[in-house]
Amino acid sequence: MNNTDIRSQYGLKYNPFLPDVPPEALFTIPGTEQFIMRVQAMAAEGGFALITGDPGLGKSKTLQSIAHRLEQIPDLTVGVMQRPQSALSDFYRELGELFNVGLSPANRYGGFKALRTRWKNHCQSTLLRPVLLIDEAQQVSTECLTELRLLQSHHFDSQNLLFTILCGDSRLPERFRTTDLLPLGSRIGVRVVLSPLSPDQLQDYLDFALEQAGHPQLMSSELTRTLAGHAANNLRVLNQMAAEMLNAAAERNLPRIDESLFFELFSPTGSKQGRNKHLKK
């Protein structure tokens, strides 16, 4: 079934297990609360912040939640990089588009000065640093990361013209220990490493997600406990399983989802019995 039909059938404001959850309804990953508060304060200071962790633990959603909060700050400019793997010329070109600066790839020094002038003016007029968010930052080349460090450093490194939040997997901290990127790594003011979530934390997430979507009783408590216990401590795995169950429940026109559907879909024996039953029909 399509997502619109599922939402209509269960009275959901949105599908809580798909990636396009409204930013105001995002779950705060346990252990990130202080980091998010510190990041909001750093908009006045600038510098670098870092989010890392293994795949599927909620890094990108944490960055999206931060973006949403920062965008509520009046007069603050927030740019989100879309192509972190770019070579240096395209990296500059995207920075120019994000901060409304016309740059010529043939005049990199002119682009360097123009970006810094734009950021200086923003700092002076708002007393805030413009913000750059880079997801999948492990894909950014060493050359681009070094250029970014030099771009936002001002007055013998005593001031920051930009606040950059880098978000990436566990390869990123390792890169910051290398000789070329150690100067940037030493400038990261605040960082958070996301850890696998416990079954209790995953169950809290399910309860929160269903309540925010408008149907807290859609899944039985036994089912949310079972799902949380079989998700390998991974938020993405949990969402994929829950989305599959929601779709299957809608196809069967079930008023509420319980453990029996879980065992039918994910238990080898249950899946085989379910297929045989379907064939007999």
**Model confidence pLDDT, tens digit, residues 174-193:** 999 999 999 999 999 999 99
Given pLDDT bands bounded at 50, 70 and 90, which one contains residue 269? low
**Model confidence pLDDT, tens digit, residues 237-268:** 999 999 999 999 999 999 999 999 999 999 87
Q: Residue 22: pLDDT above 60?
A: yes
Instruction: Give me the residues paired with residue 50 across strands.
Output: 166, 191
The predicted model gives 230-234 an average pLDDT of 97
Buried b (16+ CB within 10 A) or exposed e, 256-265: ebbeebbbbb
221-228: long-range pairs with CB below 8 Å, 24+: 222/258, 222/259, 223/257, 223/258, 223/259, 223/261, 223/262, 225/199, 226/259, 226/262, 227/202, 227/203, 227/262, 228/199, 228/200, 228/202, 228/203
Strand arrangement, sheet containing 131-134: 78-81, 131-134, 163-168, 47-53, 188-194
| CA atoms 179, 184, 186, 190: torsion sign | negative
The predicted model gives 205-222 an average pLDDT of 98
**Model confidence pLDDT, tens digit, residues 23-40:** 999 999 999 999 999 999
Cβ pair 54, 169 in contact under 8 A = yes
What proportion of the chain, given as a percentage, has pLDDT over 90?
91
Structure tokens at 129: 């640093």
The predicted model gives 138-147 an average pLDDT of 97
**Model confidence pLDDT, tens digit, residues 109-128:** 999 999 999 999 999 999 99
Provide the CA 230 distance to its chain's centre, in angstroms.
Answer: 23
Q: Return the percent helix, strand and coil in the chain, to nearest 5.
A: 55, 10, 35
Query: Which has the higher per-residue pLDDT, 268 or 158?
Result: 158
Buried b (16+ CB within 10 A) or exposed e, 2-29: ebeebbebbebeebbbeeebeeeebbeb
Domain parsing of the chain, residue ranges: 31-194, 197-280
pLDDT of residue 107: 85
**Model confidence pLDDT, tens digit, residues 59-73:** 999 999 999 999 999
pLDDT of residue 270: 52
Given pLDDT bands bounded at 50, 70 and 90, which one contains residue 105? confident
Structure tokens at 157: 């490194």
Q: 């009046």: which residue's tokens?
A: 74
Instruction: Please tell me whether residue 148 adopts helix, strand or coil conformation.
Output: helix
| Mean pLDDT across the chain | 93
* pTM greater than 0.85 (yes/no): yes
Is domain 197-280 annotated with CATH 1.10.8? yes
Angle at 197 between CA 213 and CA 240, to 5 degrees: 50
Structure tokens at 271: 């899946």
Q: How many angstroms separate the CA atoms of 112 and 85, rounded? A: 19
Angle at 14 between CA 11 and CA 16, to 5 degrees: 105
Going by DSSP bridges, is the β-strand pair 188-194/47-53 parallel, antiparallel, or unpaired? parallel
Query: Could you tell me which CATH class the domain 31-194 is placed in?
Result: alpha beta
Cβ pair 262, 22 in contact under 8 A = no
Q: How many angstroms separate the CA atoms of 107 and 104, rounded? A: 5
The predicted model gives 137-144 an average pLDDT of 98
Other CB atoms within a 10 A radius of the CB of residue 104 amount to 12
